[in-house]
Structure 1
């Protein structure tokens, strides 16, 4: 197994002996904080009941970010369901001024870093252009003592998404250090997202996968395209009663009240193919 400092065996120097990820997650302890919004308190509480917390995950990954030259780390996690009120959770050790601002705003909408990351899977190494349209936000970062940084979007097959952000106090933008560390930061972003999904494990994260038959998937795909049960019967060359039988099975499996809602959830959760 690759070392924590060098997960991709790219020849980066290790600051300390390699440790298995499980051991690191169990034993690392660094001062950290948890910030939850948009119903995230329930997610965090459920994780604590199982003895596995977002705070402990943060304790584990902060040393990795620091060895890469970043004093601050934050992960913004957003569930795909419920669609009308997705759950949001933030773990990080950013300065209090930053955290207070996040508590007052709808982070995913007001934060230009997250807004930009949501539109691309490419890493975002902060530079002057990153904040050209948001000078007030850049000034807020400076007041909070945050200088250069790097952010990366992560999406999973259940429709959940998150953004890893690491930052330093120095007002220095993208450079050689970020290029060399980028592979490790990409690895770290996916590790944090995966572990949060494992910890939280409510139905809305998609961890409890629904097993649909091929006929059920076909019905849902046509439903997404706007077909009615009658039209489905003609397309599939079966009786309307057969279509309704499969629809009822879908509703029971998806725990929804109609096939339109089931189709929307199945699409978000990646269950249609």
Structure 2
């Protein structure tokens, strides 16, 4: 009984956590499928849609140019994945393998960037973007997140975990620093690249505050900024708002499930050596 008690308690805690995490998402999904005749609040609320419909999703497309917003978000998120993977890997490799003056200071600056909230430097970042003439452009949205301290840290940890013998063998064969990085080290940390890619896509796709500040032209809005108009137009129809939320969330889930095997492999790579 002593052994079964803690095990049962763990399962109960896991079940409670699952309900807390999945419950809001499930409620939004079910609400987005309900028709106008079905209540979503009050004592007569129905938990499951009695007559499921996709009409709420069609209403979202009627009110806002949702496909344009999805395309804008996809461009920013895809570019963020590419820049974070490439630049993060290059910086991480340099900090893990190369010897140069000031390496410790650079690494300390990378760590410091992880604890400084973006809101603290947001004004300075905006002034920089404005001076470059990138206000109201998707490039201006991308630039501050083109490479993050987290991406550099993850890749540095992955490269530190690689045996040096592999790179030394390539060096004996005449491979230079760039060849060792591109052809030997980088293919060996694909799991960590997946971790960086997933996080980069999530942060770029889900970002709201920075695109709201930078973008002025509605044609350039990302999805998270464009969806705010649903609340103003359909103030009393939370079914349409829930449908818009699902449109924003489903791509994140699709990317994660597509890369989950590499993602968890990368988590394991990063835990081998700090």
TM-score by length of 1: 0.27
Higher helix share: 2
Q: Which has the higher contact order (CA 8 A, sep 6+)?
A: 2
